Chain A
Amino acid sequence: MTDTAIDLQGLHKTYKGGQPALAGVDLSVPRGAFHGLLGPNGAGKSTLIGLMTGLVRLETGSVRLFGHDPERDPVAARRRVGLVPQEVNFNSFEPINEIIETQAMYYGLPRRRARERARVVLERVGLQKRAERKPWGLSGGMKRRLMLARALVHEPELLILDEPTAGLDVEARRDTWALLQELNMAGTTILMSSHYLEEMRDLCQNVAVLKEGRLIANDIPERLFGADAGSGTGDQGLEARFLRLLEGGEPKGEDQP
């Protein structure tokens, strides 16, 4: 049994007619970690997540999830992974409980168990009262919670979240943080991309920083932003330090200081 949840080697991806979205990314995330993925828009975060989860075609490089190649052995690799994507991607014409149940069955759960799990996760994210309804009337925050419930229904060992708190109000964001911390404490490995520097600093044990398709840093938040970084917008604030990192950031690997 490998101690590595995610092992990415030499990932390259160029979309048709575009610039390289990823230009040789290596990244390793140990089991049980809470790992952040940070970078400006277009840095390659969603592409990286897409390559790991089978939503984007792999060009060159290798993806290993818990030691398994998800293309060659999808059952061993993908069954352990849950994804909360950035964009809403559920069927708006399907009742909420059916969305969750079906996803559970896609991951191999028998129908009765899928139904039970759907009830549990919908209750956990506070959508149980709307379970029979279609998701038309859901607010943006509720839609995010629905996608989180869907990602958790098969009890994944690795949870990948692409900007899960984008657009959430403060209360919903804090609820999400609490849930993610609880899951991580229980052993779930988490890889989360976000633009919110505070949640990167407060939640993640390690943060990988992407810029123009390259990994320019991968370190603990204290070393990336400085242990004394405040939340303000001044020179010593997180944002200023992050911008300095992006401007002066020489590409460096995980083992580099």
Chain B
Amino acid sequence: MNATILWNAYQGLVIKQVRRFLRSWIQNLLPSVVTATLFMVIFGQFVGRDLGQVGGASYADYLMPGLVLFAVVTNAYNNTTLSFFGARLQRHIEEMLVAPMPAWLIVAGFATAAVLRGLMAGALVLLIALPMTSLQLAHPGAALLVAVLSALLFSFAGLINGIFARSFDDTSVIATFLLTPLIYLGGVFYPIDRLPAPWDTASLANPMVYIVDGFRYSLLDEGTTGGGWMLLVLPVVTVSTGILAWWLVARGVRIKP
């Protein structure tokens, strides 16, 4: 009985959130595709031809996994940040708080929709970019696992941002000044072992390096850090971030006076 009620509530929240981002798909999904296409055409095709092999692959092949992952994580992050902040701002978060929805279910509903948006954006980028590469998708199952875990991690992080944001400016600060630099410096465009010391070592502290590299490995069968670290660290960090998001919602931080 309870399980059915909770399942219906979860479905309601996921449907609402998916409708929300599909209603404005031009604003929500298209920018990632346009950006990735431009990167693939300009860097992968025009500039990449002169670069030869990078990380054991053509530059277009090397570039594409990072661009797909970039689309996945930024979409997942932005989805929860904006939708949760919007729900607080317009106070329709109260629709959930008065209903028999435990905090974990609210977090799960927001995160599920964000993962779906991330995967949709990633799939679109993959579809557009794939014809420009010679990729064979070496380990599709592993690629999907990394994409889902990454999207989940960033959806939780985005939700935490949405909880603490006091204005629309606050919803973009973390994405602009932390997330984007971490991704750009996380080996999307170059192998970190090509960096001069101490930057190559410093890059190892960037968690995005392992996620991007793990995803690249799952698509190209080529990587520099090995997938082991990523498979160990990513689930642990994802679960920890999810627990923090749940705790904040359960405590009613910035939600309940």
A79-B5, A106-B13 are known contacts. Are A98 and B19 too (CB-CB below 8 A)? yes
Q: Are A108 and B252 interface neighbours, CB within 8 A?
A: no
B9 at the binding interface (Cβ < 8 Å): yes
Contact with A along B128-148 (1 / 0, CB 8 A): 000000000000000000000
Q: Are B256 and A108 interface neighbours, CB within 8 A?
A: no
B100 at the binding interface (Cβ < 8 Å): yes
The 8 Å CB contact of B96, one of A94, A98, A106, A110, is A106
Which chain B residues numbered 207 to 257 have a C-beta less than 8 Å away from chain A?
252, 256-257
Which chain A residues numbered 77 to 113 have a C-beta less than 8 Å away from chain B?
77-79, 81, 83, 85, 87-94, 98, 101-111
A56-B257, A107-B99 are known contacts. Are A91 and B9 too (CB-CB below 8 A)? no
Which one of B5, B11, B20, B98 has the highest number of Cβ atoms from chain A below 10 Å of its Cβ? B98
Q: Are A85 and B9 interface neighbours, CB within 8 A?
A: no
A10 at the binding interface (Cβ < 8 Å): no
Q: Are A74 and B100 interface neighbours, CB within 8 A?
A: yes
Which one of B4, B19, B96, B256 has the highest number of Cβ atoms from chain A below 10 Å of its Cβ? B256
The 8 Å CB contact of A102, one of B15, B90, B94, B97, is B15
Within the assembled complex, what's the spacing in Å between the Cα atoms of A123 and B220?
A: 58
Contact with A along B72-100 (1 / 0, CB 8 A): 00000000000000110011101111111
A92-B90, A108-B100 are known contacts. Are A102 and B257 too (CB-CB below 8 A)? no
A217 at the binding interface (Cβ < 8 Å): no
Which chain A residues numbered 1 to 59 have a C-beta less than 8 Å away from chain B?
15-16, 50, 53-57
Total interface residues on B, CB under 8 Å, equals 31
B167 at the binding interface (Cβ < 8 Å): no
B6 at the binding interface (Cβ < 8 Å): yes
Within the assembled complex, what's the spacing in Å between the Cα atoms of A53 and B12?
A: 20
The 8 Å CB contact of A75, one of B6, B91, B97, is B6
Within the assembled complex, what's the spacing in Å between the Cα atoms of A215 and B29?
A: 54
A15-B257, A92-B90 are known contacts. Are A53 and B8 too (CB-CB below 8 A)? no
Q: How far is the CB of B105 from chain A (nearest CB, A)?
A: 10
Q: Which residues from chain A contact B101 at a C-beta distance below 8 Å?
A: 74, 106
Q: Smallest CB-CB separation from A76: which chain B residue? A: B100
B176 at the binding interface (Cβ < 8 Å): no
Secondary structure at the B interface, as helix, strand, loop or mixed, is: helix
Within the assembled complex, what's the spacing in Å between the Cα atoms of A92 and B23?
A: 13
A75-B2, A89-B92 are known contacts. Are A105 and B12 too (CB-CB below 8 A)? yes
Q: Which residues from chain B contact A63 at a C-beta distance below 8 Å?
A: none
Within the assembled complex, what's the spacing in Å between the Cα atoms of A16 and B254?
A: 12
Q: How far is the CB of A82 from chain B (nearest CB, A)?
A: 8
Q: Are B9 and A56 interface neighbours, CB within 8 A?
A: no
Q: How far is the CB of A249 from chain B (nearest CB, A)?
A: 27
Q: Are B2 and A55 interface neighbours, CB within 8 A?
A: no
Which chain B residues numbered 1 to 28 have a C-beta less than 8 Å away from chain A?
2, 4-6, 8-9, 11-13, 15-16, 19-20, 23
Q: How far is the CB of A73 from chain B (nearest CB, A)?
A: 9
Q: Are B9 and A106 interface neighbours, CB within 8 A?
A: yes
Q: Smallest CB-CB separation from B23: which chain A residue? A: A93
Q: Smallest CB-CB separation from A16: which chain B residue? A: B257
Within the assembled complex, what's the spacing in Å between the Cα atoms of A78 and B9?
A: 13
B31 at the binding interface (Cβ < 8 Å): no
A89-B91, A92-B90 are known contacts. Are A105 and B11 too (CB-CB below 8 A)? yes
Q: Which residues from chain A contact B102 at a C-beta distance below 8 Å?
A: 74
Within the assembled complex, what's the spacing in Å between the Cα atoms of A92 and B30?
A: 24
Q: Are B5 and A89 interface neighbours, CB within 8 A?
A: no
The 8 Å CB contact of A91, one of B12, B92, B98, is B92
Contact with B along A100-134 (1 / 0, CB 8 A): 01111111111100100000000000000000000
Given contacts A75-B100, A79-B5, 12 further A-B contacts (CB under 8 A): A53-B97, A57-B252, A57-B257, A74-B102, A77-B100, A79-B100, A89-B95, A90-B95, A91-B90, A106-B99, A108-B4, A150-B95
Which one of A93, A98, A107 has the highest number of Cβ atoms from chain B below 10 Å of its Cβ? A107
Q: Are B8 and A103 interface neighbours, CB within 8 A?
A: no
Within the assembled complex, what's the spacing in Å between the Cα atoms of A78 and B95?
A: 12
Q: Smallest CB-CB separation from B94: which chain A residue? A: A89
Q: Are B8 and A110 interface neighbours, CB within 8 A?
A: yes
Which chain B residues numbered 94 to 121 have a C-beta less than 8 Å away from chain A?
94-102
Q: Are B257 and A81 interface neighbours, CB within 8 A?
A: no
Q: Which residues from chain B contact A74 at a C-beta distance below 8 Å?
A: 100-102
Q: Are B95 and A105 interface neighbours, CB within 8 A?
A: no
